[in-house]
Amino acid sequence: MTYVLPADPGDQIELTEYLAHLDAHLDVRDEDSVLATAPKLRALANNRRFLAKHLVESLAKSDFQKGNRYVGPTFLLERRRDYVVRVVGWPTAPERTPSDRTVDAYSADEQMAHNHTMGILTVGYWGPGYETDLFECDPDALTGEAGQPYQLAGRGRERLSVGKVMYYRPHVDVHIQNVPEDYSISLNLLIPSRHKDHYSSQYFFDVARGKVVGVGTTVADAERSEFLNYAGIIRHPSFFPHLEKIAAGHPRALVRKKASEILRAGPDLSRA
């Protein structure tokens, strides 16, 4: 079940102290170690000045937010080899960006029940906070294909109010993000997944119909599919025993599908 740590207005720390604590004590391979850092994230959220201070310091630099690949109201506080600390804004409606295109934090993907491919330790920092409907899934029971019948296990509803910490486990915890009553801000610690298949995709679920309605494509899926494209162009007969094994047993649905397409085309016997 999603981990929840209630608010406690006691300790306050600075961002530098929080990062030093993570560098000294966080073992991203150990979920208990991740959860043990929750009080420190809460103590950072209790510091009502640190975010404004960080914004001022960042705006003084011409390359502020360099390396931030997120879209919408999300910016980086720190990126390390094993973790990322970021800020996420949760508006009440679509907002306009400087490029004059609409960014909606509650896109169809967010409004759908979905899991995550990384661990997310998050705390409410500003505003009333979003409400989220919580569920669980068994990643090992998912096939990687849209349309699979699947019933999620309901786990109630929580509001990420100021000072409350929640931990979304990678792959297992599923939630529906709901629009907050007023603009809200959360702080996130992102932890890479240690799932047995670390290329595992993000899943999207239709709770009412009890089915998987979408499966995210990973970079690894795309790279493997591009590699298979070469086999599909050359179609040498020696490839096909291996393609049969991939089509029958590869853990990634997109890769199985690509191998099956090449099998249906058949070998180019002129290359034998």
- Predicted pLDDT of residue 67: 65
At 75, the amino acid letter reads F
Domain hosting 224: range is 219-271
DSSP 55: H
Mean pLDDT of 228-241: 89
E runs forming strands in 34-151: 74-79, 84-90, 95-96, 102-103, 113-114, 118-126, 131-136
Q: Do both 37 and 114 map to the same domain?
A: yes
pTM recorded for the entire structure: 0.80
CB 271 within 8 A of CB 240: no
Q: Do both 249 and 116 map to the same domain?
A: no
- Predicted pLDDT of residue 198: 45
Q: What six digits make up the tokens of 215?
A: 């499966």
Q: Do both 159 and 174 map to the same domain?
A: yes
- Predicted pLDDT of residue 70: 64
- pLDDT above 90: residue 212: yes
Q: Do both 114 and 79 map to the same domain?
A: yes
Q: What angle do CA 187, 190, 196 make, to 5 degrees?
A: 155
- Predicted pLDDT of residue 2: 77
Paired strand residues for 204: 114, 214
Kindly indicate the confidence band of residue 30, based on its pLDDT and cuts at 50, 70 and 90: very high
